[in-house]
A and B are shown apart, each in its own frame.
Chain A
Amino acid sequence: MREKQTRSVSALPSVSEARLESVLGTAVDGIVVMDDKARILLFNKACETLFGYTTEEVRGRNVKVLMPAEYAHAHDGYLNNYLETGEKRIIGIGREVRGMHRDGTEFPIELSVGEAATPEGRQFIGIIRDLRQRKAVERRLAEAQAQLVSVTRISALDEMGAAIAHELNQPLTAIMLYLQAAKRKVGDDHRDEKLVEIVDKGVREAERASQIIQRMRRFVEKRDPERRSVNVARLVGECLDLVTMGTDCRDIEIANDVLDGLPDIAVDPVQIQQILINLIRNALDAVRQAPVKRVGLSAAVSGGDMLIRVSDSGGGVPPEVVPTLFRAFSGAKKGGLGLGLTISRSIAQNHGGDLAVEPNGGEGGAAFVLRLPVDTPERGDQVAAPPGRKGPTA
């Protein structure tokens, strides 16, 4: 039907014209042909979908009908300017503009315009690509990247504080106990007043340091994790997207075996995302120079906990490094404080879970196992534990 009408406007039907018709009909991009008075001569199927007009409705009308007001006003001017001066603004260049649907909705399009001299005069061919989908992807990418930045920062300070407090506590505890033991020893055996005094001062200084840590810890603990039910497959998928969007990992085989249908976990999604992103990044870094570049993600329930496993086929963690791997400032990785794993473990433990490393079976490399509590209906009671339920503290 469209074919017939097109022919009534244009020249005699021919084989090549029939072929053109079928090309226009099947093209994914919108194609509009107009004459030098901006009248629409041809409007393909894709255009009908894009703009909501049928060919019959727009043929012969000014192409402005497809444009938002501000373009429509200027269009005659642009066209005349070109026809008079031959100065090309869009022809052969293509640019991002906005189209307008019949219902008034504006949408981003990429418009390329070509020109043809025909027996019927000059004609302009516009090829229109709908950018809405691409825009949506771009927006999602931008959001994802912004989120990645905030994810790595949002609780980094809190968690760093917690990790430092925790790591400093161990040697500080030892120092205080050693000093107190020494004080007892000199006090009992020698009655060396001066030495007792010195040790006393040492104890006081250690206590001062401990108070600083306790204050830091109180500050850090003020913020309760915002726990909610989180779908594991979705969380892992998002983290994988976030990491892979930002880095080149084309030559790395990434196997995400985290299936839908696992029970939800009760976690602060932002914090757990931080752990997973850290683990996935580490895994990708680990295989970058390896002969086999494979990173695997899986999850399973074991003993009421969710175990999320991030494995790689890289060099693995040397056995002598394993004991200190999660200690703050012990990391062997260049360009970092070695806090990533410390913070990650501290987050996991704050959730009542843990983070551990194990050899990655036959493939070589390492596997990090993140253990997190599965969401249970009574969780609400536990989280909002009354003060009486909290353990006595020193």
Chain B
Amino acid sequence: MNPTVTHDMSVISLITGASVLVQLVMLVLLLASMFSWYYIFLKIFTFKRANRLADQFEKEFWSGADLNELFQRAVNARNSAGTLERIFEAGFREFAKLKKQPDMGAGMVMEGTRRAMRATYQREMERLEAYLSFLATVGSVSPYVGLFGTVWGIMNSFRGLANMAQATLGAVAPGIAEALIATAIGLFAAIPAVVAYNRFAGDINKLATRFDSFMEEFSNILQRQGQ
């Protein structure tokens, strides 16, 4: 048994043995991964609650409660209101205001109400979508950043090889392994970010259709009331 294996190949030594630029790349990737995981958890909580609040409000709304009462409650519980509640509040407020004006036709009232609801809806969606673009960026860019670190590390490894008399595999292999760690970290950051982005995009679509259909239904109700 020849003691040919002299290089310590533990992960820590691979990281500490890398060149400064590669280490910098690794640091950037680690930060990206950290933040993307932070936003992933944040978004999970957000969507969970958004769904819960929407369920709650829909139940109340369709159980035949008085619209004025619902509106009062929505105004009072402003800080804990869900998206549906806000849309409802904005629409109902606008509807009540426009209805008081004598020279408004039914069509114009409905149009103003819809606009108000649409504006709230847009604002809420924007809030729901916050940080998703960060996840998308991490998911698409970090493999390239990792690859850059790897290419740089391998370049260095080969440059070192040029100074050697004997080009053995043992002389290049540790350098390449060190460099490849950067790609590994890049992928480690990218994969969860991409998965989470897709998942959240799906969630947002679902929520958006839900809000949209609620807006349509609520408009119908208001229109019936207005006539």
Whether chains A and B associate is no
Using a CB–CB cutoff of 8 Å, the interface residues on chain B facing chain A are: none
Using a CB–CB cutoff of 8 Å, the interface residues on chain A facing chain B are: none
